[in-house]
Every structure is written in structure tokens, then in C-alpha cells.
Structure 1
């Protein structure tokens, strides 16, 4: 136990230091003159001891510098001895768990004591980091404690006392950005990495080729542009570059993200034979068990080392059992239940189908997917399996609509279906908003009711597809009869979706219902997509919720992103797990009927993974996920889509269970949604009053009044009710004094 420092004790230690280092010091010969300075220095030292601040720089600037005035010859040596005596007396004697005497034949990679802060938040305080080459340390702790920040500071040499001569290589959970060289073939791209040039590792390409072959890069893949590779293959590229660096310290942040089973086996074997000291952040328990020789755990802003793998660590720290049991968690995510879909009365009826779809990436001769036939219902819990590069993410993008099939329109989806998609590299959802708070990002995205980010992505993809086809508009597009002004409604007729179009300088009685294909052909795709999104948002009740800081933060709270991060923090400062929580919260804002997750287990800690699993289990909509984590998907999924050699094999079927339909968000007195095609006026109940003179309207006039009221055509409503100019309508004040409502 440490003692509490006092000024008297510190002064005694200071005098002892002077006696030991400089017996003939002027501070001793002229005690009366030096006494005030020595007392002042002792008091500052007392304050630093109470703060438990033992930084050499702080003591030199705050304490030792004052000693120069009393003894110019010995002040640095006296100050160093004084600090050592204070540490011996007052510094807390923490139990050393690092095993310094173990494995004496191994080289010490680093032995430092430091503190670490980020964004004004203290992450680690006066903790030790002692690492030996050849050992593999798993870094464990909850999301937000600073695991990634620690790794980045070690990689950048920003840890106090860290040897600048050590080579530390940091491999993040997403592969290197290919930048302007994305079209280069794989092998050439690897050899052009600037970090290899800096280490003089680019002379002999045979080492790079050997490693690329070792992770199963075929001749076709070696010649393919890097930009065409899947996330798993890009991660392998990052690992190959790191291996070529021959680092002293290899830092791996979620290295198994996107990797299939065989690639994880290769990585495990490579790390076991690697001479470097490895620091690994991962939530893959089996991987940590197979690889780690030590576990470094965050405990009360300290790093505590436990010898052995994750299983041995859990035996010593039973509270960490959540690393094995996903369901054993106190963390909860609040997934909203989806709204009702017209004509969908069971959880087994299809809400989305892909019929006979074939897709080929530009520049490739062989289709990635051929003749794909899959369907999805509200009871579906689908896992998409296959090797890296087999086409799993490509299949998902066909379903979402980001990619278009080679053979025309093969995708059918219910016209009111709402889909939430969290992509493989989920951070691309927020990468343009890193300097904003999560609340500001949500305000930008949903402030106009529709999902602005999804709209922009959809339009960009349609533009790309049109450019590939070589035209902007259909050459045989039949023009509209008048100049387009806006879309006012939507209906389904004979299985075809038609939009009610109002024209410029034309009364609403001349509105026409025009099918979607024709509107798309004349360049009105954006308008139809915006209207569809507006209808979907209103059906979910999104239009009833103001995008205020209070409302949005309440939503973020449901995904365990508290106010200090959601309202006052910046996205740039969030950990990987916290960013995933933000992306999930954004995806669930519009109460989707279908949730699509590409590698959902990346970045999340075990508690958060358990919360996600429980939320998916209780969710009332359909779920598709791509995952290599069997412990996560196996208890949840009842259907499997195997992607191999360009084909998709389906096994299992959707569960027939109770249909869960949530109410509209914030909707008080909300009635059950009526059968409808999704017109923006579909839930407005019109009460037809008597005319201005008290007479009942004929059936024809009543129908005309209802139609005018739904369109908010005040002028026509007044005409039908025979309201004289300048008069108001008793019982119907919304008719006002005759002014026309332009909405």
C-alpha cells in the first residue's frame, strides 16, 4: 500500500537526496537562504504525489527546475534522486503481472510506463506495457475503453518511452485504401506500397508472390485490379504487406474480419511462426484461443496481463464469461417492429424475390453470379455462406438494388417494402461526416423525412448503370403531354404501379396516372424514388417525429450510444464498435421490414454481439446476414444460401410464426393501416359536411369533395360546398376565406 504524501515528508526526502548526491552542496552550506525554495519544491512534489503523476517531463519542469537556483552543479542529479525516493515511498505498488522473468531467451520489444488520453478522456493512467518478441498478446476490453487508440499510438511511436528504432506495423480491420492505384494488378499494387519502400523491401518480388500464393491468390486474382476484390481478399492484401515488413511489433485490429475459414487458418499458422511481438484486438474467441499466448485486459484504466489464451483468462476472471456466451449479456438494442404490408398476412409469404438473375462485374469475362433464384419473407432468417470472393456481397447488392442484373429486371419487391442495409465496410455510411456528431449526421440524413443518404447512393448507382449501357434516357421514351410539375399520389392498377402526375399550369383535374417505367424513361427516376421513400416514411410514422437533438439522442440511447458520444462527441472519435452502433441506429430509424447485414459481427464486443443476436431473434421482419462467425449465425438462422462457383444453393425455409406488426412511431390514436398502395393521403379520413346552405350533398358531389379534400384543393372544396366569396364555412374552418392552399 502507498502512503499519503505530506510536505514535511517530501522535504525530508529532498534533504536526503541532497545529502546522498552532493554532500557539499551549497543548499546544505546555506540552509537559511535555500530553505524557502526547498520548502516550495517539497510542496509541489507533495501535490504531484497525490495526483499519482510520475512523468519524468512533469517532474523536470515542475520540480527539478527550481533546484538549479540553489545548486547549479548538481541540481539534475539531486532532482532525479528526489523523484526516485518519492516514488519508492508514495507510489502505489501495483502487482506486476507482466512476467518479466519469464522466457528470458526472448528479446524484450518494449517496456514502458505511460498514460493515454483521447479527446479529453483519460483511457489509461500510469500503466505498464511490457512486451516480448515471439509472444502474441490479445488485447481485451469493452467497446470504448481505448483498444484501437492504444494500437495506433504504439504504431505511431507516440507512447512515452517507446523506442523510435522499433518497426511497428498496424493492420486495421479494413484493408488499405487503394487510392489512385486501385486499377493496378494485385502483385504490382503490393510492390508499390510506400511502407515497403521505406523499409527497403521492394527489391525482390518473389517474397511477395510467395505470400500471395500462400493466401490462395490465383493467377486470375493476381492479374485482377485491386478495386474489384472483395473485403476478404483486401484484408489478405493488408496482411501480406504487413508480413513483408518484417516488423518488430505487429498490431492486428480485428484481423479475421471478412476472412473465410481457410484464410483464418492461414493467418493462425503464420502468427504462430512469426518472430515479431503481436498485439491483437479481436472478438473472435476461437481465434484468440488458437493464437494468443497472453491476454492483456483493461481494468480500472490499467493494463493487466494474464498468461495463457482466452479460455485460461476466463478461468481466472469468471466475469469475462460473456466472451463465450452471447446470450449472457445485460446490454440491449431496441429494434422497432416493422409496420404492416398490404396483402402480407403471414411470415412465410414472399416480400422480395430475385428470379433468374445473372451479374458480371465490368472487366470480367465470367459472371460472378448466374441464374440466381431466391426469395425473402418476414419470417426469413438467412445466412449467406461462401468463400472470400464467391459473390456473397454481390448477391446482397443485387437484392438491395445497388447492382443491376445483366439480363434485365429480375428483382421484385413489395412496393411498400422498407429495407435497411448495413454494408460490409459499414463505415462508408459515415465517412463523409467524421467531424460531425452522430446526432448531426442523423439530422442531415433524415431531416427531410426521406433517407437522403440512401437516395444519393441509389441515384449514383443508377447513373453508373446507365453509363455502362451507354445512354442517359431511353431512346424510344414517349414524352409526357405537358411539362412535369410534381407527383401527387400513387396507385396499383393491374399489378403495375402508377403515379399521379400534376403538370405545370394545368389544373389538378387534368392530372394523369403514369406508370413508373415511362417516368423513368423520360428522366424522372429521382422524383419517383423520392415519392416512394416519402410514402414509406409516412407509413412508418417518421414524418411525425421532429429531428431534434432530444429525439435523435433518445434513439441513439436505444443502441447504447450515450449522450457524451451521440450529442457531444464527433464521429471521428468513436471506436469501431461505437461506429457500428451508430450505423445500426441509422438503419433502424425508418422501421424496416427487412434488415440486411454484411459481416455484422465486425468491431462489436461480446456484450454488443449478444445484444444484436437477441434483437435479431425478437425482430418482426426478415433478416439476411453474411457472416463467418458460426457461433453468431447458427442459433439465429433457419435458411442458408450457399454461394459457390457462381451459383446460389438454397436450403431451409422461413419460419411460420406470429406476425409482429408495430404501431407507427409516436402516432397517438393511430389506427390500423388500411389496405392501400401507399398514397400520401391514404390515412386521411374525410368527413363530408353539408353545403353552406345546410343541404346534404349528392353522392357525386360527396365523392368530388372527398377527392378535393385529399388533394387539399381548397378552391374546389369551396365551390362544391357553395361557399360565397369572403365567407367562412361553419364547422369547416379549414376552408378559410377562399385562399388556395398550394400544398
Structure 2
């Protein structure tokens, strides 16, 4: 096809351009071209473009009128099927012609189509013949197109093509491809057969050898060197060429010999690993897997042995978690039924409806577990749940204990295959070691593990399953052995920041009264807390403070109170055992919870753009309004009712709402409206008085609104949201056009990070931020936190992460806090003053995205300059000279 369609199309276009007018010869050429193209395109099996084939034929025959229309049709198509050589042969002439169009919109669409299709090409040999037809045109467009956004799309397409084609140039200087022929492959087949069966009389002229050689040539020319696919294609025919006594054992040996020789001749490095035939197969199937409109795996082979521990590796978005979910849900074609192979998906998230249940009742309610209560209690005890803890509520468990609970259920289920997705998330060092020992002790149960913890994977895996280019390839050995075979996979586990892949946190706005980065913005004083239904408090006598300069790592064992401490700081819960939590009235927090996805779980059918528009539609963060420190308890409602009576000029009034705020010396006063009275009757009351009357949470609502205004309200429009999400590595395509249900775990975390920082927070609080992020994203997050101008507080078990950014440690153990490395000060401290110049020069927008023109008032003098100016005025007055103001008049 690459040798037929492009030359034919060029001949057609050349014939038309040479014809000064339409004549019978032109008509004959068109007719013959249509007939030929119709027959040739029948060989194109790509499902994405099948329905467009008539339009493609029209465009190739009538390029001037039809090419722009066809490009418009194709630009609206989501390409998900693997793009092969026949598909590119049909598309390349159209796309090459499209790059000569004048309209910027058409050029952008052509670049988008090229980029999307190139990502679905399996190898460089498929795309190589088409690089000289596409790359020069793209490079030319990138230097001439005026629109910056469209230029970015073109440059992205160039980068994708170069990566797939393994070239740095324009593709015109690449050596010609070597094509294997049947005649060239036949001697390889004969040599391999005779090495196994020296008595064989077959030669290259034998019909059987000729047929086997034609299959070999097809596989080589398709650059397919997958051992399993060579076996399935060739073993049945090679068996016929061997004596009956040895064909069962030696046919595969012959095929592998031909494979290794063919790969060597083509300059391909291939390693054929033993299939370990002595082990019991739990699964040996070939399947394809898609998620929504995206193809993840195409005719991939999955073979699992009993007792092996497989690490599932690949970049974020390659389908690791989706594959495990599909196995558990019985959606993998050819996978054994649950009656034959029992699978259990180990997850630490617990349904919100279950949080009030006790641990033992939760386990007994699982219909998949057929054990009696005594056995359930025994197994729970073996993983660390004492009889007393078994009676506690699930809601009181930390993330680490929830993971241990999930493992206990898997043990009781007696699964053949355990599916573990990021099992070390939320686990401290001791529990990670416990998990390693448990998994390595399993001899009859197979495990498939997805984890970004390279040390954990290296310690437990017997094999690595690599997801790459729509295939699954097995490598024996642990992670270290795998990286020797695939060096580029080292990037999956290295903390290195790519120049083009960086995160950026927005700079926080200035706060009233905060002159240095050392001044405290949040404080806790002697705080205690206990969850309902638990035997003892989770926190005792906690005192701490946070400032703009804080870089805090909250460390401690599972269940030590780390997440509870943070929930009190952000206001998700309130102290119930004494103490006080104080925050600056204008403080904005950016918070990502331990189970990061809970922020978006109710919005999975929205795009990230729709989620942001809904969450911030009023100018406030709607998630903030649902926190525990915003919900009025019965006691608080009663106190408000009693304190709402105000006597003004001898008349009793009832406060209805707190609506506004203004500065009052070192504090604030708030505008109060009254029931049954107009706004002209509103009065202003001091902050302390309103809090004394029980209106503290109403005051906090006003503070939050004012904090948003102080943060210079960002325009909640598509372009601004896309730019903000891009600062966290999420492309506009995913922001605007993909629902969050279709995003990978890493992409969802990026959405959560971007949403949490939309209001330009002064302090970012991250609970287990390393969960679900690949190493590339983690490195970008570390670099962004280092340059962030606000405070940072992280809970993590990842020592590499915490040591990279944190200078202060809050060690939590059994509810007590031991702080070290801090710089807590009273007042402003002695650090450098915060510069206000940049803040004043920033553009301000209203909620509709319109720029607010700010009038620059007279420059405010410092107290020293004001004294000097006053002294100069007095001196001029004493001499009888006019002042500066009088001179201007």
C-alpha cells in the first residue's frame, strides 16, 4: 500500500494539473482512479476511518474542493485503533495536501490529525516511509503560522512524529527501509529445520518451506518480533516439516531460531525468555482492552503462572489500573471464569455508608467471604487487629489500617490472584515491611501489583509485565533486572524533572498585617480531639503554628493522628476535647485529602472544566462550605438565637445575617442585617462582639469571601482554567473534552491539585501527595513546592519526598506531637519584609473575565519619608514660602 497509493495519487494530481480544461482523458483518469482506489481501500481495516473512505476517495480525486471538507470531518474523529501502514498510505497524501492550505484553522486541524494518528503507530518502521511527506510540511508551517496556539499544536505534532520515527531531522535523510522477501527468508527456515532434524530433505523450493518463509517475511516487514505471535503464526506449519517423534517438542525451538536470526539481521535486539512450562498456568489469553474511546491494549497476550508476583509497569495512562479492574470484573476476553480462577481486587477505599460499621461487622457483611466469625476474627488478629480494635468503627481507621483491612478480606476470600493497586499508599515503613513478607510468603497465590514504590517492587516481584505500545510483555526477575532490559523504564521510578514537564503553584496574595514570612497564619493551642465511638482521644494537647515560610513534614506510624491533625487545621473537623484553632481572617488554604479522589468522586461524569465552573461558580469554593467548621451544631444554633437580639435606640432587633466586613484598628467590624428591616437599617458590630454572640461561623463565611477578593478574583473562564491546569501537567484536551471518569489516577490527582490551588492559597496542605503520581509528576511537584512563595505542609511516608522539601518535622505518635526544626515566632519575626510592588502591578479581573482598570493613587510614603516631608513643609512655612500643594494651585 505505501508503494501504490501515494504514487497513484501524485499521478492523478499531476494529470489534472497538466490538463488546461476538463476533457475526456481527464474523465477517464478519474473513473479509473476511483475504481482503483475503491479496491485498494478495501484493504484498510482501521475502524476509525472506514466510514470516511468514500470522502477520502473524493478528496484524492478532487483535491481542491474536497480536501478542506474531508479534513474537517476527520478533525472531529477520535482515533483509537492502531494505525498501520495501509491506513497511513491512504491518509498521507490527504494530510500532505492539507499542509498547503492557507487557512490557519485547517492547518491546525491537519496537525491535530497527524499528532493523534502518530500516537497510535506501533513502531518507527511503519511511519518511516511517510516522514518525508509530512515532516517538511509541518516544519514549514511551524515557521510561518501566526497564531501562537495553532503553532503550539503544529510543534507538538512535529515532536510526536520525530519520536515515533526516531529522527531529529525532517525525515528526508533516513536510509531506505530493508524489506524481507520470501526468497530471503527461506534459507533461514531451512537452516533452522536442519539444525533440529539433520535428516530433513526440505529445501528452499519446497512449497511448505515457501509458505513458512512468506509468513516470516510478513512478520519481519511488519516489525513484529513478539515471540508469542511468531509461535502462534508458525508453530503449526513448522510442526509439519518435522518428524512426528520430535515435532511436539522441537517446533517452537525452530521458530525461535528463525526469530532470533531474523531480528539480528534487522538490527533488532530481542531476548526470548523461557516460558517456564513447568509452572501451572492460571491464564494464557490474547485480548484487546479499551477505556471509553481510548484503546489501551491491542491483541495483547497475558500469561500468568501460579505463585508468581508480577509487577505491572508503564507510564500513567497506559491502562495499568484499568487492566486490573477489567480482570476483576471479568471483562478480559479469554480470562478464566471466577469458578476456575478467583480474583480479589485489594483497595483501601471504603464506601462512605460503611464508616459507622465496626470492623468485624464490615468483614462479615462481605458476601464473597464464606468464613465463620471465629475464623474472621482470627485472620484479623494475624494482620494486627486486636479484639478491641475489631470493635471500633471503620471511620476511625487511618489509610494504612484500611489497606490492612482490605488484605485481611483477601486472605479470607482465598483468592488465586490478588490485584493490588498502589498497596503501599498510606503504609508506614513497618507496615510496608509486613506487606513484603506477607506477599513473598504466598506460594500458591499469584499477585499483580501496581506501585510507584521502586524499592517495594524490587523486593517482591518475580516478573515484570510491561505495558507499552498497546502490548503486554513479560520480563523475568525483579524491577532491577527489568530496567537492565528496558533502560528507558528507569524514568518511571526516578525523581528527575523534564524541562517541558513542570508544575507551577500560583503566587499567594498579600495578607493584612503580615509583613514577613515568619509571622504565623495558623495556630493551634492545647487542642484535643476524639472520634465518636472510640475508647481514647486521637490527639492530646497539640500546639503548633504555620507561616508562609513553613516547610513541614508530618511523620508518624499509621494511626498516629497525622490525618486527624490536618483535618482540624483545615476545618473538616473541630476540637472537641478543648483547645483553640486560629487562622488569619483572609487566609486561603489549598488542601488535598489523603484519599485525593474524594474531592471529585461525585463529579466523575463532568469534565475538569465543568467541575471547576461548578465548584467556583459563586466566587467561593463550594467544597469549603461543606466543611465541619461551617456547619452549625444544635448548640451553636441555640447560642446564635440567644445572641441575635440587639437593642438599637431602645428598640429590639433580631440579627438575620452577617453581610460585609471592614477594617477596625487591629481587627474588623461586620455589617449585620436585621429581620424585617431594609439594608439602610444595617449596623456594624466588632468581630469580638459577634463571636461572643455565637456568630463565629457567619463571621468565617464573610472572612472567606473577603479572602477571595483579596486574592484578586480570577476570571472563571475556559482559557484561564486551561492555563491553570496546564501548570499541573494536564493538557487542554483532557481539561475540556474528557470526563474525569476516563482519566487515569495520575491525571485525576492533577485535577485535584489544580482545583485546590485555584484561589491562590497562602498555605498548601497535602495528605499523602505521592499516592497515584508517577515519578515524573512527583519530581515536578517537588520542584514546584520548592519555589512556592507560600507555606507547605505534607503528610507522607515517602522519605525521599519529605527530605527534598521539608525543613520542619512534626512527629506524631499515639496522639502526641513532637515538633523539631521549626522557627515559631511571636509577632512579625526578623525575616525580610514582603515586597508589595509586584502585587500592586498585577492585572485584576472580575468573575466574567473582564480586566478591571485600576487607578493608581498617590504613592503612600513610609513613616520616615512622611516625617521628612512634614519637616520640609514646616521649614517652608517658617520662611514664608508656599507649600508644594499651594504651588500646584
Aligned 8 A contact 1:327 1:613 in 2: no
1:94 partnered with 2:217: no
Give the counterpart of 1:175 among 349, 366, 384. 349
In the alignment, the residues of structure 2 paired with residue 431 and residue 525 of structure 1 have an alpha-carbon distance, to the nearest angstrom, of: 30
Shift of 1:300: 1.6
- 1:405-554 equivalence runs, <5 A: 405-408=575-578, 410-458=580-628, 462-463=631-632, 466-467=633-634, 469=635, 472-474=638-640, 476-480=642-646, 481-482=652-653, 484=655, 487=658, 489-493=660-664, 496-503=667-674, 511-516=682-687, 519=690, 527-541=698-712, 543=713, 545-554=714-723
Q: 2:277 maps to what in 1? A: 104
Q: 1:386 maps to what in 2? A: 556
Root-mean-square deviation (CA, aligned residues, Å) is 3.6
Which stretch of structure 1 is more off in the superposition, 575-584 or 238-247? 238-247
Change (3 A) 1:445 1:513: same
Aligned 8 A contact 1:172 1:254 in 2: no
In the alignment, the residues of structure 1 paired with residue 307 and residue 693 of structure 2 have an alpha-carbon distance, to the nearest angstrom, of: 65
Shift of 1:268: 0.8
Q: 2:762 maps to what in 1? A: 593
In the alignment, the residues of structure 1 paired with residue 775 and residue 586 of structure 2 have an alpha-carbon distance, to the nearest angstrom, of: 35
Q: 1:156 maps to what in 2? A: 329
- Structure 2: gaps of 5 or more residues: 5-37, 47-81, 87-210, 229-269, 647-651, 825-829, 846-851, 859-889
In the alignment, the residues of structure 1 paired with residue 431 and residue 730 of structure 2 have an alpha-carbon distance, to the nearest angstrom, of: 33
In the alignment, the residues of structure 2 paired with residue 649 and residue 346 of structure 1 have an alpha-carbon distance, to the nearest angstrom, of: 25
Which stretch of structure 1 is more off in the superposition, 93-102 or 220-229? 93-102
Change (3 A) 1:511 1:152: same
Shift of 1:403: 1.6
1:494-533, Cα deviation, whole Å (9 max, x unpaired): 6554212355786877543224465467675665333222
Change (3 A) 1:346 1:318: farther
Which stretch of structure 1 is more off in the superposition, 646-655 or 41-50? 41-50
In the alignment, the residues of structure 2 paired with residue 632 and residue 440 of structure 1 have an alpha-carbon distance, to the nearest angstrom, of: 32
- 1:639-650 equivalence runs, <5 A: 639-650=808-819
SS of 1:482's partner is strand
Q: TM-score normalized by structure 2?
A: 0.62
In the alignment, the residues of structure 1 paired with residue 675 and residue 378 of structure 2 have an alpha-carbon distance, to the nearest angstrom, of: 67
Change (3 A) 1:46 1:457: closer
Q: 2:292 maps to what in 1? A: 119
Shift of 1:223: 1.2
1:234 partnered with 2:405: no
In the alignment, the residues of structure 2 paired with residue 517 and residue 578 of structure 1 have an alpha-carbon distance, to the nearest angstrom, of: 44
In the alignment, the residues of structure 2 paired with residue 499 and residue 470 of structure 1 have an alpha-carbon distance, to the nearest angstrom, of: 19
1:596-623, Cα deviation, whole Å (9 max, x unpaired): 1111111011101111111111111111
Change (3 A) 1:663 1:116: farther
In the alignment, the residues of structure 1 paired with residue 564 and residue 550 of structure 2 have an alpha-carbon distance, to the nearest angstrom, of: 20
Aligned 8 A contact 1:112 1:128 in 2: yes
Aligned 8 A contact 1:663 1:670 in 2: no
In the alignment, the residues of structure 1 paired with residue 445 and residue 271 of structure 2 have an alpha-carbon distance, to the nearest angstrom, of: 18
In the alignment, the residues of structure 1 paired with residue 360 and residue 656 of structure 2 have an alpha-carbon distance, to the nearest angstrom, of: 54
SS of 1:195's partner is coil
Q: 1:290 maps to what in 2? A: 459
1:250 partnered with 2:418: yes
- 1:325-340 equivalence runs, <5 A: 325-330=494-499, 331-340=501-510
In the alignment, the residues of structure 2 paired with residue 85 and residue 600 of structure 1 have an alpha-carbon distance, to the nearest angstrom, of: 54
1:132 partnered with 2:305: yes
Aligned 8 A contact 1:185 1:226 in 2: yes
In the alignment, the residues of structure 2 paired with residue 240 and residue 661 of structure 1 have an alpha-carbon distance, to the nearest angstrom, of: 55
Q: 2:871 maps to what in 1? A: none
1:86-144, Cα deviation, whole Å (9 max, x unpaired): 97774534245897744333211211112211111111122211111111111112211
Q: 1:221 maps to what in 2? A: 389
In the alignment, the residues of structure 2 paired with residue 538 and residue 183 of structure 1 have an alpha-carbon distance, to the nearest angstrom, of: 39
Q: 2:521 maps to what in 1? A: 351
Q: 1:307 maps to what in 2? A: 476
Q: 2:121 maps to what in 1? A: none
Q: 2:750 maps to what in 1? A: 581
Judging by fraction of residues, say which structure has more helix.
2
Aligned 8 A contact 1:561 1:582 in 2: yes
Aligned 8 A contact 1:337 1:662 in 2: no
Q: 1:265 maps to what in 2? A: 433
Change (3 A) 1:246 1:365: closer
Which stretch of structure 1 is more off in the superposition, 320-329 or 435-444? 320-329
Aligned 8 A contact 1:166 1:249 in 2: no
Aligned 8 A contact 2:355 2:394 in 1: yes
Aligned 8 A contact 1:166 1:248 in 2: no
In the alignment, the residues of structure 2 paired with residue 421 and residue 584 of structure 1 have an alpha-carbon distance, to the nearest angstrom, of: 8
Aligned 8 A contact 1:479 1:522 in 2: no
Q: 2:788 maps to what in 1? A: 619
Shift of 1:645: 2.3
Shift of 1:383: 1.0
Shift of 1:256: 0.8
* Alignment size in residue pairs: 602
In the alignment, the residues of structure 1 paired with residue 212 and residue 687 of structure 2 have an alpha-carbon distance, to the nearest angstrom, of: 80
